[in-house]
Structure 1
Protein backbone atom coordinates (compact mmCIF):
# COMPACT_ATOMS: atom_id res chain seq x y z
CA UNK A 1 0.00 0.00 0.00
CA UNK A 2 1.41 3.39 -1.02
CA UNK A 3 2.01 6.25 1.43
CA UNK A 4 -0.63 8.35 -0.36
CA UNK A 5 -3.23 5.60 -0.05
CA UNK A 6 -2.43 5.25 3.64
CA UNK A 7 -2.93 9.00 4.20
CA UNK A 8 -6.27 8.92 2.32
CA UNK A 9 -7.53 6.02 4.46
CA UNK A 10 -6.44 7.77 7.66
CA UNK A 11 -8.19 10.97 6.58
CA UNK A 12 -11.37 9.03 5.77
CA UNK A 13 -11.35 7.43 9.21
CA UNK A 14 -10.85 10.80 10.97
CA UNK A 15 -13.67 12.44 9.01
CA UNK A 16 -15.92 9.49 9.83
CA UNK A 17 -15.12 9.79 13.54
CA UNK A 18 -15.74 13.53 13.55
CA UNK A 19 -19.09 13.08 11.81
CA UNK A 20 -20.12 10.39 14.27
CA UNK A 21 -19.16 12.65 17.17
CA UNK A 22 -21.20 15.60 15.90
CA UNK A 23 -24.20 13.85 14.42
CA UNK A 24 -24.34 10.32 15.74
CA UNK A 25 -24.29 10.73 19.51
CA UNK A 26 -27.86 11.80 20.11
CA UNK A 27 -30.15 14.82 20.37
CA UNK A 28 -28.20 16.50 23.17
CA UNK A 29 -25.11 17.10 21.03
CA UNK A 30 -27.25 18.12 18.07
CA UNK A 31 -28.95 20.78 20.22
CA UNK A 32 -25.59 22.11 21.45
CA UNK A 33 -24.50 22.96 17.90
CA UNK A 34 -27.91 24.39 16.92
CA UNK A 35 -28.60 28.10 16.97
CA UNK A 36 -30.83 27.81 20.05
CA UNK A 37 -28.26 25.61 21.73
CA UNK A 38 -25.59 28.25 21.23
CA UNK A 39 -27.89 30.95 22.60
CA UNK A 40 -28.58 28.89 25.71
CA UNK A 41 -24.90 28.07 26.20
CA UNK A 42 -23.94 31.73 25.75
CA UNK A 43 -26.52 32.90 28.31
CA UNK A 44 -25.45 30.24 30.81
CA UNK A 45 -21.81 31.21 30.34
CA UNK A 46 -22.67 34.86 30.95
CA UNK A 47 -24.28 33.92 34.26
CA UNK A 48 -21.51 31.49 35.14
CA UNK A 49 -18.78 34.12 34.69
CA UNK A 50 -20.73 37.03 36.21
CA UNK A 51 -19.38 38.67 39.34
CA UNK A 52 -22.91 39.55 40.49
CA UNK A 53 -23.78 37.83 43.79
CA UNK A 54 -27.14 36.51 42.53
CA UNK A 55 -25.84 35.18 39.20
CA UNK A 56 -25.44 31.64 40.54
CA UNK A 57 -29.05 31.60 41.72
CA UNK A 58 -30.31 32.85 38.35
CA UNK A 59 -28.20 30.22 36.59
CA UNK A 60 -29.66 27.48 38.77
CA UNK A 61 -33.22 28.68 38.11
CA UNK A 62 -32.58 28.95 34.36
CA UNK A 63 -30.98 25.50 34.20
CA UNK A 64 -34.08 24.04 35.87
CA UNK A 65 -36.27 25.11 32.93
CA UNK A 66 -37.14 22.65 30.18
CA UNK A 67 -35.28 23.15 26.89
CA UNK A 68 -38.27 24.68 25.07
CA UNK A 69 -38.84 27.11 27.94
CA UNK A 70 -35.18 28.13 27.87
CA UNK A 71 -35.58 29.02 24.19
CA UNK A 72 -38.81 30.92 24.89
CA UNK A 73 -37.15 32.64 27.86
CA UNK A 74 -34.40 34.00 25.60
CA UNK A 75 -36.99 34.99 22.98
CA UNK A 76 -38.80 37.03 25.64
CA UNK A 77 -35.59 38.80 26.69
CA UNK A 78 -35.08 39.84 23.06
CA UNK A 79 -38.70 40.77 22.30
CA UNK A 80 -38.88 44.57 21.80
CA UNK A 81 -42.39 44.77 23.27
CA UNK A 82 -41.30 42.82 26.32
CA UNK A 83 -38.18 44.94 26.66
CA UNK A 84 -40.33 48.06 26.75
CA UNK A 85 -42.56 46.40 29.34
CA UNK A 86 -39.56 46.06 31.62
CA UNK A 87 -39.31 49.83 31.83
CA UNK A 88 -42.91 50.81 31.17
CA UNK A 89 -45.36 48.35 32.70
CA UNK A 90 -43.96 48.89 36.19
CA UNK A 91 -45.51 52.35 36.01
CA UNK A 92 -48.85 50.59 36.50
CA UNK A 93 -47.81 49.12 39.85
CA UNK A 94 -49.86 51.16 42.35
CA UNK A 95 -48.64 52.92 45.43
CA UNK A 96 -49.48 50.91 48.52
CA UNK A 97 -49.54 51.24 52.30
CA UNK A 98 -47.13 49.81 54.90
CA UNK A 99 -46.20 46.71 52.89
CA UNK A 100 -46.73 45.75 49.29
CA UNK A 101 -46.62 42.70 47.11
CA UNK A 102 -48.23 43.17 43.71
CA UNK A 103 -47.98 41.66 40.25
CA UNK A 104 -48.54 42.74 36.67
CA UNK A 105 -48.86 39.68 34.40
CA UNK A 106 -47.70 39.83 30.78
CA UNK A 107 -47.44 37.28 27.95
CA UNK A 108 -50.24 35.17 29.43
CA UNK A 109 -48.45 35.08 32.77
CA UNK A 110 -45.06 33.95 31.41
CA UNK A 111 -43.63 37.38 32.27
CA UNK A 112 -44.37 39.19 35.53
CA UNK A 113 -43.60 42.62 36.96
CA UNK A 114 -43.47 42.23 40.74
CA UNK A 115 -43.25 44.93 43.42
CA UNK A 116 -42.17 44.31 47.02
CA UNK A 117 -41.17 46.30 50.09
CA UNK A 118 -39.40 45.47 53.32
CA UNK A 119 -37.82 47.21 56.29
CA UNK A 120 -34.84 46.30 58.45
CA UNK A 121 -33.37 48.15 61.40
CA UNK A 122 -30.61 48.50 63.96
CA UNK A 123 -32.27 49.30 67.30
CA UNK A 124 -30.86 51.56 69.98
CA UNK A 125 -29.23 49.66 72.85
CA UNK A 126 -31.13 46.39 73.39
CA UNK A 127 -34.47 47.57 72.07
CA UNK A 128 -36.25 45.64 69.36
CA UNK A 129 -39.76 44.84 68.22
CA UNK A 130 -42.41 47.49 67.67
CA UNK A 131 -43.12 50.55 69.75
CA UNK A 132 -46.52 51.43 71.16
CA UNK A 133 -49.36 51.85 68.70
CA UNK A 134 -47.64 49.82 66.00
CA UNK A 135 -44.94 52.40 65.38
CA UNK A 136 -41.34 51.45 64.68
CA UNK A 137 -39.02 51.01 67.64
CA UNK A 138 -36.39 53.65 68.33
CA UNK A 139 -33.34 53.22 66.13
CA UNK A 140 -32.01 53.38 62.59
CA UNK A 141 -34.24 51.84 59.92
CA UNK A 142 -33.87 51.12 56.24
CA UNK A 143 -36.95 50.74 54.07
CA UNK A 144 -36.66 49.26 50.58
CA UNK A 145 -39.00 49.27 47.60
CA UNK A 146 -38.08 46.90 44.74
CA UNK A 147 -39.55 46.18 41.33
CA UNK A 148 -38.45 43.10 39.42
CA UNK A 149 -39.18 41.40 36.12
CA UNK A 150 -39.51 37.61 36.12
CA UNK A 151 -39.69 35.27 33.15
CA UNK A 152 -40.95 31.75 33.96
CA UNK A 153 -40.23 32.57 37.61
CA UNK A 154 -36.60 33.50 36.96
CA UNK A 155 -35.66 37.04 38.03
CA UNK A 156 -34.10 38.76 35.02
CA UNK A 157 -34.00 42.37 36.20
CA UNK A 158 -34.51 43.89 39.66
CA UNK A 159 -34.40 47.57 40.62
CA UNK A 160 -34.19 48.40 44.34
CA UNK A 161 -34.19 51.68 46.23
CA UNK A 162 -33.90 52.22 49.96
CA UNK A 163 -33.84 55.10 52.41
CA UNK A 164 -32.04 55.11 55.77
CA UNK A 165 -33.63 57.05 58.65
CA UNK A 166 -33.88 57.39 62.43
CA UNK A 167 -37.04 57.24 64.51
CA UNK A 168 -37.34 57.99 68.23
CA UNK A 169 -40.21 55.52 68.57
CA UNK A 170 -42.77 58.20 67.90
CA UNK A 171 -41.67 59.95 64.71
CA UNK A 172 -38.85 60.06 62.20
CA UNK A 173 -36.37 62.74 63.22
CA UNK A 174 -33.44 62.21 60.83
CA UNK A 175 -32.77 60.90 57.33
CA UNK A 176 -29.23 59.78 56.64
CA UNK A 177 -29.09 58.67 53.01
CA UNK A 178 -30.75 56.84 50.11
CA UNK A 179 -29.12 54.24 47.88
CA UNK A 180 -30.04 51.87 45.09
CA UNK A 181 -29.02 48.63 43.43
CA UNK A 182 -29.81 46.83 40.20
CA UNK A 183 -29.67 43.22 39.08
CA UNK A 184 -29.84 42.86 35.32
CA UNK A 185 -29.30 39.65 33.37
CA UNK A 186 -30.71 40.87 30.08
CA UNK A 187 -27.98 41.66 27.55
CA UNK A 188 -30.38 43.76 25.47
CA UNK A 189 -30.97 46.19 28.34
CA UNK A 190 -28.52 48.70 29.75
CA UNK A 191 -29.48 50.45 32.98
CA UNK A 192 -27.74 53.33 34.70
CA UNK A 193 -28.92 55.74 37.39
CA UNK A 194 -28.56 59.19 38.87
CA UNK A 195 -27.19 59.91 42.34
CA UNK A 196 -29.85 58.76 44.86
CA UNK A 197 -31.30 61.54 47.00
CA UNK A 198 -32.89 61.49 50.46
CA UNK A 199 -34.94 63.98 52.42
CA UNK A 200 -37.19 64.33 55.45
CA UNK A 201 -40.53 66.03 54.78
CA UNK A 202 -43.41 66.27 57.27
CA UNK A 203 -42.23 63.24 59.23
CA UNK A 204 -41.73 61.15 56.08
CA UNK A 205 -38.36 59.77 54.96
CA UNK A 206 -38.12 59.93 51.17
CA UNK A 207 -35.61 58.25 48.89
CA UNK A 208 -35.51 58.88 45.16
CA UNK A 209 -33.42 57.92 42.12
CA UNK A 210 -33.74 58.22 38.34
CA UNK A 211 -33.09 55.04 36.37
CA UNK A 212 -31.76 55.60 32.87
CA UNK A 213 -32.70 52.66 30.67
CA UNK A 214 -31.54 51.92 27.14
CA UNK A 215 -32.74 49.04 24.98
CA UNK A 216 -30.98 48.05 21.76
CA UNK A 217 -31.92 44.94 19.81
CA UNK A 218 -31.40 44.41 16.08
CA UNK A 219 -31.60 48.10 15.28
CA UNK A 220 -34.51 48.69 17.67
CA UNK A 221 -33.64 51.42 20.14
CA UNK A 222 -35.47 53.07 23.01
CA UNK A 223 -34.48 55.14 26.01
CA UNK A 224 -36.77 55.50 28.99
CA UNK A 225 -36.06 57.38 32.20
CA UNK A 226 -38.00 56.32 35.27
CA UNK A 227 -38.35 57.93 38.67
CA UNK A 228 -38.14 55.42 41.53
CA UNK A 229 -39.35 56.58 44.93
CA UNK A 230 -39.77 55.05 48.38
CA UNK A 231 -41.43 56.69 51.39
CA UNK A 232 -41.41 55.61 55.03
CA UNK A 233 -43.17 57.03 58.08
CA UNK A 234 -43.16 56.19 61.79
CA UNK A 235 -45.06 52.97 61.02
CA UNK A 236 -42.67 51.73 58.32
CA UNK A 237 -43.18 51.55 54.57
CA UNK A 238 -45.64 54.19 53.40
CA UNK A 239 -45.56 54.06 49.61
CA UNK A 240 -43.39 53.55 46.58
CA UNK A 241 -43.52 53.76 42.83
CA UNK A 242 -41.57 53.35 39.62
CA UNK A 243 -42.94 55.51 36.84
CA UNK A 244 -41.95 57.14 33.55
CA UNK A 245 -40.78 60.75 33.52
Structure 2
Protein backbone atom coordinates (compact mmCIF):
# COMPACT_ATOMS: atom_id res chain seq x y z
CA UNK A 1 0.00 0.00 0.00
CA UNK A 2 1.38 3.38 -1.01
CA UNK A 3 1.87 6.17 1.50
CA UNK A 4 -0.73 8.26 -0.37
CA UNK A 5 -3.31 5.44 -0.18
CA UNK A 6 -2.64 4.92 3.54
CA UNK A 7 -3.07 8.66 4.22
CA UNK A 8 -6.31 8.73 2.20
CA UNK A 9 -7.72 5.73 4.11
CA UNK A 10 -6.71 7.33 7.41
CA UNK A 11 -8.44 10.57 6.46
CA UNK A 12 -11.54 8.66 5.44
CA UNK A 13 -11.67 6.83 8.77
CA UNK A 14 -11.24 10.09 10.73
CA UNK A 15 -13.93 11.77 8.65
CA UNK A 16 -16.22 8.81 9.23
CA UNK A 17 -15.66 8.93 12.98
CA UNK A 18 -16.30 12.66 13.03
CA UNK A 19 -19.52 12.21 11.03
CA UNK A 20 -20.65 9.43 13.37
CA UNK A 21 -19.95 11.67 16.36
CA UNK A 22 -21.94 14.50 14.83
CA UNK A 23 -24.79 12.18 13.95
CA UNK A 24 -24.76 10.81 17.46
CA UNK A 25 -24.96 14.31 18.95
CA UNK A 26 -27.70 15.21 16.53
CA UNK A 27 -29.65 12.12 17.43
CA UNK A 28 -29.39 12.94 21.12
CA UNK A 29 -30.56 16.51 20.53
CA UNK A 30 -33.39 15.28 18.36
CA UNK A 31 -34.37 12.87 21.11
CA UNK A 32 -34.56 15.71 23.64
CA UNK A 33 -36.55 17.89 21.26
CA UNK A 34 -38.78 14.95 20.42
CA UNK A 35 -39.39 14.24 24.11
CA UNK A 36 -40.45 17.84 24.76
CA UNK A 37 -42.57 17.76 21.65
CA UNK A 38 -44.28 14.56 22.80
CA UNK A 39 -45.01 16.07 26.24
CA UNK A 40 -46.49 19.18 24.65
CA UNK A 41 -48.55 17.14 22.19
CA UNK A 42 -49.81 14.86 24.97
CA UNK A 43 -50.94 17.85 27.06
CA UNK A 44 -52.64 19.47 24.07
CA UNK A 45 -54.38 16.17 23.30
CA UNK A 46 -55.61 15.82 26.90
CA UNK A 47 -57.14 19.31 26.74
CA UNK A 48 -58.71 18.60 23.35
CA UNK A 49 -60.39 15.45 24.68
CA UNK A 50 -61.36 16.96 28.03
CA UNK A 51 -65.05 17.52 28.70
CA UNK A 52 -64.30 19.75 31.69
CA UNK A 53 -65.50 23.34 31.44
CA UNK A 54 -62.71 25.72 30.46
CA UNK A 55 -60.57 23.15 28.66
CA UNK A 56 -60.89 24.93 25.31
CA UNK A 57 -59.83 28.26 26.84
CA UNK A 58 -56.85 26.65 28.58
CA UNK A 59 -55.79 24.98 25.32
CA UNK A 60 -55.98 28.33 23.49
CA UNK A 61 -53.90 30.05 26.19
CA UNK A 62 -51.37 27.20 26.25
CA UNK A 63 -51.00 27.29 22.46
CA UNK A 64 -50.30 31.03 22.66
CA UNK A 65 -47.16 30.35 24.75
CA UNK A 66 -43.74 30.00 23.13
CA UNK A 67 -42.20 26.53 22.85
CA UNK A 68 -39.81 27.26 25.75
CA UNK A 69 -42.69 28.53 27.89
CA UNK A 70 -44.71 25.42 27.11
CA UNK A 71 -41.85 23.21 28.27
CA UNK A 72 -41.46 25.32 31.45
CA UNK A 73 -45.22 25.20 31.94
CA UNK A 74 -45.16 21.41 32.00
CA UNK A 75 -42.11 21.38 34.28
CA UNK A 76 -43.77 23.79 36.71
CA UNK A 77 -47.03 21.81 36.71
CA UNK A 78 -45.09 18.67 37.72
CA UNK A 79 -42.94 20.43 40.33
CA UNK A 80 -43.96 19.15 43.78
CA UNK A 81 -43.00 22.49 45.37
CA UNK A 82 -45.51 24.33 43.19
CA UNK A 83 -48.14 21.72 43.95
CA UNK A 84 -47.47 22.11 47.68
CA UNK A 85 -47.75 25.89 47.34
CA UNK A 86 -51.25 25.53 45.93
CA UNK A 87 -52.17 23.25 48.81
CA UNK A 88 -50.73 25.48 51.53
CA UNK A 89 -53.20 27.21 53.79
CA UNK A 90 -54.80 30.19 52.07
CA UNK A 91 -57.17 32.34 54.06
CA UNK A 92 -58.55 35.83 53.91
CA UNK A 93 -61.04 37.98 55.78
CA UNK A 94 -62.39 41.36 54.82
CA UNK A 95 -64.87 43.99 55.89
CA UNK A 96 -68.50 42.96 55.32
CA UNK A 97 -69.78 43.59 51.84
CA UNK A 98 -66.35 43.77 50.21
CA UNK A 99 -64.44 41.39 47.99
CA UNK A 100 -60.94 40.07 48.55
CA UNK A 101 -58.10 39.43 46.14
CA UNK A 102 -54.72 37.99 47.12
CA UNK A 103 -51.85 37.11 44.80
CA UNK A 104 -48.71 35.09 45.61
CA UNK A 105 -45.93 34.97 43.01
CA UNK A 106 -43.59 31.97 42.67
CA UNK A 107 -40.67 31.25 40.33
CA UNK A 108 -40.17 34.90 39.54
CA UNK A 109 -43.84 35.41 38.77
CA UNK A 110 -44.15 32.47 36.34
CA UNK A 111 -46.43 30.68 38.83
CA UNK A 112 -49.17 32.50 40.74
CA UNK A 113 -51.60 31.52 43.49
CA UNK A 114 -54.73 33.69 43.55
CA UNK A 115 -57.59 33.92 46.04
CA UNK A 116 -60.81 35.76 45.21
CA UNK A 117 -64.28 36.26 46.62
CA UNK A 118 -67.51 37.74 45.41
CA UNK A 119 -71.11 38.10 46.55
CA UNK A 120 -74.20 38.34 44.37
CA UNK A 121 -77.83 38.50 45.37
CA UNK A 122 -81.37 38.56 44.02
CA UNK A 123 -83.55 41.16 45.69
CA UNK A 124 -86.79 39.94 47.22
CA UNK A 125 -89.22 42.63 46.03
CA UNK A 126 -91.91 41.41 48.42
CA UNK A 127 -89.87 42.64 51.38
CA UNK A 128 -89.00 46.38 51.50
CA UNK A 129 -85.39 47.26 52.30
CA UNK A 130 -85.01 48.30 55.90
CA UNK A 131 -81.75 50.15 55.34
CA UNK A 132 -79.32 51.29 52.68
CA UNK A 133 -76.74 48.68 53.72
CA UNK A 134 -78.67 45.41 53.77
CA UNK A 135 -80.82 44.08 50.96
CA UNK A 136 -83.58 41.57 51.45
CA UNK A 137 -83.21 38.57 49.18
CA UNK A 138 -81.22 35.48 48.30
CA UNK A 139 -77.44 35.85 48.27
CA UNK A 140 -74.69 33.62 46.91
CA UNK A 141 -71.18 34.14 48.23
CA UNK A 142 -68.16 32.46 46.64
CA UNK A 143 -64.56 31.93 47.74
CA UNK A 144 -62.08 30.76 45.06
CA UNK A 145 -58.44 29.65 45.09
CA UNK A 146 -56.59 29.03 41.83
CA UNK A 147 -53.13 28.41 40.41
CA UNK A 148 -51.89 30.03 37.21
CA UNK A 149 -48.75 29.25 35.22
CA UNK A 150 -47.72 31.89 32.68
CA UNK A 151 -51.19 33.35 33.13
CA UNK A 152 -52.92 30.06 32.25
CA UNK A 153 -55.32 28.77 34.92
CA UNK A 154 -54.27 25.21 35.70
CA UNK A 155 -56.16 24.38 38.90
CA UNK A 156 -59.13 26.20 40.44
CA UNK A 157 -61.27 25.47 43.51
CA UNK A 158 -64.56 27.33 44.05
CA UNK A 159 -67.02 27.03 46.93
CA UNK A 160 -70.24 28.99 47.41
CA UNK A 161 -73.11 29.16 49.87
CA UNK A 162 -76.69 30.35 49.21
CA UNK A 163 -78.60 32.10 52.00
CA UNK A 164 -81.47 34.51 52.67
CA UNK A 165 -81.38 37.86 54.44
CA UNK A 166 -84.54 39.72 55.47
CA UNK A 167 -82.86 43.10 55.22
CA UNK A 168 -81.40 42.97 58.72
CA UNK A 169 -79.85 39.52 59.13
CA UNK A 170 -79.53 36.10 57.59
CA UNK A 171 -82.55 34.00 58.48
CA UNK A 172 -81.87 30.79 56.59
CA UNK A 173 -79.25 28.96 54.56
CA UNK A 174 -80.34 26.96 51.53
CA UNK A 175 -77.29 25.01 50.35
CA UNK A 176 -73.59 25.04 49.50
CA UNK A 177 -71.97 23.79 46.32
CA UNK A 178 -68.54 23.64 44.71
CA UNK A 179 -66.74 23.40 41.40
CA UNK A 180 -63.22 22.74 40.21
CA UNK A 181 -61.04 23.10 37.15
CA UNK A 182 -58.02 20.86 37.02
CA UNK A 183 -55.82 20.70 33.94
CA UNK A 184 -52.77 19.28 35.68
CA UNK A 185 -52.09 15.69 34.67
CA UNK A 186 -50.10 15.16 37.89
CA UNK A 187 -53.09 15.91 40.12
CA UNK A 188 -56.33 14.00 40.60
CA UNK A 189 -59.08 15.77 42.58
CA UNK A 190 -62.42 14.67 44.00
CA UNK A 191 -64.56 16.11 46.79
CA UNK A 192 -67.01 15.34 49.57
CA UNK A 193 -70.65 16.43 49.61
CA UNK A 194 -70.70 20.22 50.29
CA UNK A 195 -72.38 21.23 53.55
CA UNK A 196 -74.13 24.44 54.56
CA UNK A 197 -75.23 25.71 57.97
CA UNK A 198 -76.35 28.86 59.81
CA UNK A 199 -74.17 29.71 62.81
CA UNK A 200 -74.49 32.88 64.86
CA UNK A 201 -76.32 34.73 62.11
CA UNK A 202 -73.68 33.77 59.50
CA UNK A 203 -73.93 31.44 56.53
CA UNK A 204 -71.24 28.77 56.39
CA UNK A 205 -70.33 26.55 53.45
CA UNK A 206 -67.74 23.79 53.52
CA UNK A 207 -66.34 20.99 51.36
CA UNK A 208 -63.37 18.62 51.61
CA UNK A 209 -61.21 18.37 48.49
CA UNK A 210 -59.52 14.99 48.19
CA UNK A 211 -56.37 15.30 46.13
CA UNK A 212 -53.88 12.77 44.82
CA UNK A 213 -50.56 13.99 43.47
CA UNK A 214 -48.76 11.59 41.15
CA UNK A 215 -45.11 12.57 40.86
CA UNK A 216 -42.53 10.29 39.26
CA UNK A 217 -44.44 7.18 40.26
CA UNK A 218 -45.10 8.26 43.85
CA UNK A 219 -48.62 9.05 45.05
CA UNK A 220 -49.32 11.65 47.74
CA UNK A 221 -52.78 11.96 49.27
CA UNK A 222 -53.73 15.43 50.49
CA UNK A 223 -57.12 16.48 51.83
CA UNK A 224 -58.05 20.16 52.04
CA UNK A 225 -60.87 21.81 53.92
CA UNK A 226 -62.44 24.64 51.88
CA UNK A 227 -64.61 27.02 53.92
CA UNK A 228 -66.55 30.20 53.21
CA UNK A 229 -68.41 32.46 55.65
CA UNK A 230 -70.89 35.20 54.78
CA UNK A 231 -73.05 37.65 56.68
CA UNK A 232 -75.98 39.73 55.48
CA UNK A 233 -73.61 42.04 53.58
CA UNK A 234 -71.89 39.25 51.67
CA UNK A 235 -68.44 37.69 51.94
CA UNK A 236 -66.85 37.73 55.40
CA UNK A 237 -64.01 35.18 55.30
CA UNK A 238 -62.75 31.99 53.71
CA UNK A 239 -59.88 29.55 53.76
CA UNK A 240 -58.35 26.50 52.11
CA UNK A 241 -56.19 24.47 54.47
CA UNK A 242 -55.06 20.97 55.42
CA UNK A 243 -57.64 18.80 57.15
Pairwise CA distance, 1:45:
1.2
Number of aligned positions between the proteins? 212
Pairwise CA distance, 1:220:
2.9
Any conservation in 2 of the 1:150–1:156 contact (CA below 8 Å)? yes
> What do residues 85-131 of structure 1 show as CA deviations (whole Å, max 9, x unaligned)?
2212xx14433333100011111211111000112222223889x87
Change (3 A) 1:31 1:132: farther
- Once the two structures are overlaid, the 10-residue window that deviates more, 32-41 or 157-166, is 32-41
Q: Structure 2: which 5+ residue stretches go unaligned?
A: 1-29
Pairwise CA distance, 1:219:
2.4
Matched, 1:67 2:78: no
- Partner of 1:134: helix, strand, or coil? coil
The CA distance in 2 between the partners of 1:86 and 1:126, in whole Å, is 44
Structure 1 runs of 4+ off > 6 angstroms? 30-33
Match of 1:200 among 198, 213, 234: 198
- Partner of 2:99: helix, strand, or coil? coil
Match of 1:188 among 186, 192, 200: 186
Pairwise CA distance, 1:60:
1.0
- Once the two structures are overlaid, the 10-residue window that deviates more, 234-243 or 75-84, is 75-84
Any conservation in 1 of the 2:157–2:181 contact (CA below 8 Å)? yes
Q: Give the aligned partner of residue 132 of structure 1.
A: 131
Any conservation in 1 of the 2:53–2:181 contact (CA below 8 Å)? no
Q: Structure 1: which 5+ residue stretches go unaligned?
A: 1-29
Any conservation in 1 of the 2:99–2:119 contact (CA below 8 Å)? no
> What do residues 124-145 of structure 1 show as CA deviations (whole Å, max 9, x unaligned)?
23889x873422x211111000
TM-score (norm 1): 0.81
TM-score (norm 2): 0.81
- Once the two structures are overlaid, the 10-residue window that deviates more, 30-39 or 170-179, is 30-39
Q: Give the aligned partner of residue 115 of structure 1.
A: 115
Any conservation in 2 of the 1:157–1:186 contact (CA below 8 Å)? yes
Pairwise CA distance, 1:173:
0.5
> What do residues 54-91 of structure 1 show as CA deviations (whole Å, max 9, x unaligned)?
11111111111111000000001111222222212xx1
Change (3 A) 1:244 1:67: same
- Partner of 2:87: helix, strand, or coil? helix
**How large is the Cα RMSD of the aligned pairs?**
2.2
Pairwise CA distance, 1:41:
1.1
Any conservation in 2 of the 1:93–1:102 contact (CA below 8 Å)? no
Q: Give the aligned partner of residue 165 of structure 1.
A: 163
